[in-house]
Amino acid sequence: MGSVPSRTVSAQAAAGLTALYPGSFDPPTNGHLDLIERGARLFGRLIVAVLRNTEKAPLFTTGERVEMLREATRSIPHVEVAEFEGLLVDFARQCGASAVLRGIRAISDYEYEMQMALMNRRLDPQVETVFLMPAEAYSYVSSRLIKEVYRLGGSIQGLVPPLVEARLRAKWRP
């Protein structure tokens, strides 16, 4: 009692690891940034990986999403932003990442996230998926809802970084 050596050891071990945080980020929200800040505190290197969508038609190009994320994460140490396509586990191997970071907002995220995590584990048992919860204030924020509310004229202030709001404005109210 009192000392927690095993926790200290694993925190040190995690601090040396590279983690990948993959997603669409169309656009990045404060929920994503909350998760990035938490991940950057846990891992030695956190690579935010923007998926080059093939099926969904994104609002922002991959380049725009990468730019927004770079700007929004500039002050967070050991965070990098990259883009990828293809199998996540292949990109993880290329980056030397041993963990994949994902966010769970509510029970509704759980089913899909568990499927993905178990499929990725089957594809590469070396890569571990780690789930983090955002601050409650962002637990209902999704990129989809942000786009919908903004498009209909509602306020999204405080839910996305100001630079993202400016980009949305430029897209829809030039």
Ligand X SMILES: Nc1ncnc2c1ncn2[C@@H]1O[C@H](COP(=O)(O)OP(=O)(O)O)[C@@H](O)[C@H]1O
The least CB distance from residue 105 to ligand X, in Å, is 5
- Which residue shows structure tokens 């950057």? 40
Q: Please, which residue, 17 or 132, has the CB nearer to ligand X?
A: 132
> What φ, ψ does residue 14 adopt, rounded to 5°?
-65, -35
Cα–Cα distances in angstroms (integers) from residue 160 to residues 7, 15, 26, 28, 121, in the given order: 34, 28, 11, 7, 32
Q: Please, which residue, 103 or 161, has the CB nearer to ligand X?
A: 103
Q: Please, which residue, 25 or 43, has the CB nearer to ligand X?
A: 25
- Nearest residue to ligand X, by Cβ distance, number only: 31
Q: Please, which residue, 12 or 155, has the CB nearer to ligand X?
A: 155
The least CB distance from residue 7 to ligand X, in Å, is 24
The least CB distance from residue 35 to ligand X, in Å, is 5
For the chain, the farthest-separated pair of C-alpha atoms sits apart, in whole angstroms, at: 62
Rule CB under 6 A: which residues touch ligand X? Answer: 23-25, 29, 31-32, 35, 102-103, 105, 109, 134, 138, 141-143
**Residues annotated as catalytic (active site), given as ranges:** 32, 56, 105, 143
> 46 and 79 in contact (C-beta within 8 Å)?
yes
Nearest to 31 by CA among 136, 116, 130: 136
The least CB distance from residue 27 to ligand X, in Å, is 9
The DSSP symbol for 136 reads G
> 39 and 21 in contact (C-beta within 8 Å)?
yes
